[in-house]
Amino acid sequence: MALSKGDRLPEATFVEMGKDGPKEVNLSERLKGRKVVVFGLPGAYTGPCSTIHIPSFIKTAADFRAKGVDEIICVSVNDPFVLKAWGESTGATAAGISFLGDADGSFTKALGMDFTAPQIGLIGRSNRYALVLDDGVITASKVDKPGVCDISTGEHLLAEL
């Protein structure tokens, strides 16, 4: 999948940390009738993900909401326990960013966004991308080259709206 304007995201089930523990989330149900930003990144607590990518969406969260975005979702090939801790430690949870775990990487693979960099310990991870979706259909997209955190930031995606 090229993540192009007009494409519909594939069906997917994620795991999210709820008040009572992990819970499954059906992506199409979550997106139905809503304007949502979804961004993917290689992993919790990794360098640029923690110092560039997440902060860029924290900084732009209010601006996205002012433009009618109902929810900002971070997708990562991690488990919900790690994502909950990472969201809290970065301030992203307090900024209203949701975290969905693609624990087995199946969604990431379906998007064609998977990559492996064994030299730095990343196996079956996600490339960086950012999307604006309207009812599950891509209206704007930014995809970085593997190993780069540049155009998929909150600021660059916001400029598309």
The span from the CA of 154 to the CA of 160, in Å, is 10
pLDDT of residue 78: 94
What mean pLDDT comes out for the span 126-146? 94
Domains in the chain: boundaries: 13-156
- In angstroms, the CA 154 to CA 28 distance is 23
pLDDT 10s digits, 1-16:
578 999 999 999 999 9
49 is catalytic: yes
In CATH terms, 13-156 corresponds, of 3.40.50.720, 3.40.30.10, 3.40.50.300, 1.10.260.40, to 3.40.30.10
Amino acid 66: pLDDT = 98
Question: Each residue of 54-98: pLDDT tens digit?
Answer: 999 999 999 999 999 999 999 999 999 999 999 999 999 999 999
Q: Are 127 and 113 in contact (CB under 8 A)?
A: yes
pLDDT over 80 (residue 122): no
pTM, full prediction:
0.95
pLDDT of amino acid 118: 72
Mean pLDDT within 22-32:
97
Catalytic option among 9, 12, 37, 49: 49
Query: What's the mean pLDDT in 111-134?
Result: 85
List, in sequence order, every beta strand (DSSP E) within the chain: 13-18, 21-26, 35-41, 71-76, 97-101, 114-117, 122-126, 129-134, 137-143
